[in-house]
Homo-oligomer: A and B are copies of this chain.
């Protein structure tokens, strides 16, 4: 037996072991999530089965208004930073795979229905840029041009069935559909004069209706994606800030709209109320008094509860609405700056960011008791990997 022989044997054994993978490291990706550490430009990767932290990932830039989408296999997170950074993170290994700074000032993104394209909505330069989700190479640049050369900030970017992206032009009062179903050169459909200053947009959970909130008018602009030929329809006049304007400390997030029991629960603007609107008639059916100006009103996946957080200075409180009786059944006071919350996909837990206490709390949604809390540095957005299987998030 020579030394050379021994070396060959051990190299071969090493390669065999390595190529078969380590069972200890292998894991499913259905119970993973990303928590934004707002102040430090880092994220934590967590899992919701044993509720532990798996990795810290640093170097993601300005995450002061960050959001996340996931690849269709739930292995990769795409993190959209405020500074135009787009970072692809392997959530199974906790490593950054690729990072590009694609714009000067960005406000969220989306992933196409087929998972091949990632789109980013930019304030600066105004428009939407679309990237190959494998390589982060840019495949399409859609400047939001209006009035013969001006560029508008873009807001309310969502994905829609048929490999479409939909977004609104804040300065131009328009909504655009970019259809990537035929090729990476999108077919653009523009809806003009939708109303003044659309500030955010959402798509309903069935991905049929796109709705833009209007900062400059007292109502919202709705597009029925089953009938785009019918154009934009105005809904919910009286929702907005036009009637009895009140000081608004923080604009509510439209993504936080909650669909439950045939109704939509949405944060009123400025008022201490959650509005209940019929999802078939789009008329208001009730108003539920709450603790402060609501920011997010989020439905438990079975629609039985809606959890609400609030704008400064009342942002230390969390309330739970029972949808059946439309009344508050619990008020928590977990600490200052409750910035975001996320339900596990089957709704048994909710994860809540309490920024000023540097913790994320986890509640059991049946008992309404706290299960645990995890140390997280200035936590804001919480995004679980099950979002990969949902439309419009």
Contact = CB atoms under 8 A, between A and B. Distances in A.
Q: Give the one of A18, A115, A207, A208 with max B CB within 10 A.
A: A18
B17 A17 contact: yes
Contacts of A49: 72-73, 115
Given A73-B49, A366-B162, A391-B301, A92 B17 contact: no
A47 B75 CA distance: 13
Q: Interface range on chain A: under 10, 10 to 19, 20 to 34, or 35 or more?
A: 35 or more
Contact of A207 (B48, B73, B208, B302): B302
Contacts of A3: 3, 6
A125 to B, nearest CB: 30
Contacts of A226: 304, 324
Copies of this chain present in the complex amount to 2
A22 B21 contact: yes
A266 to B, nearest CB: 18
Contacts of A345: 388-390
A167 B266 CA distance: 35
A42 interface: no
Given A18-B18, A161-B304, A93 B346 contact: no
B74 A28 contact: yes
A30 interface: yes
A388 B3 CA distance: 52
A226 to B, nearest CB: 5
A24 interface: yes
Interface in A110-163: 113-115, 161-163
A77 to B, nearest CB: 11
Contacts of A390: 345-346
A101 to B, nearest CB: 26
Interface string A63-84: 0000000111111100000000
Nearest to A322: B226
Nearest to A8: B10
A181 interface: yes
Contacts of A26: 21, 25-26, 75, 92-93
28 contacts: A10-B14, A13-B14, A14-B17, A17-B17, A19-B22, A19-B24, A20-B25, A21-B24, A21-B26, A26-B92, A28-B29, A28-B75, A30-B30, A30-B74, A49-B72, A113-B346, A161-B304, A162-B366, A163-B366, A206-B302, A208-B302, A226-B304, A262-B279, A262-B280, A301-B391, A302-B391, A345-B388, A346-B389
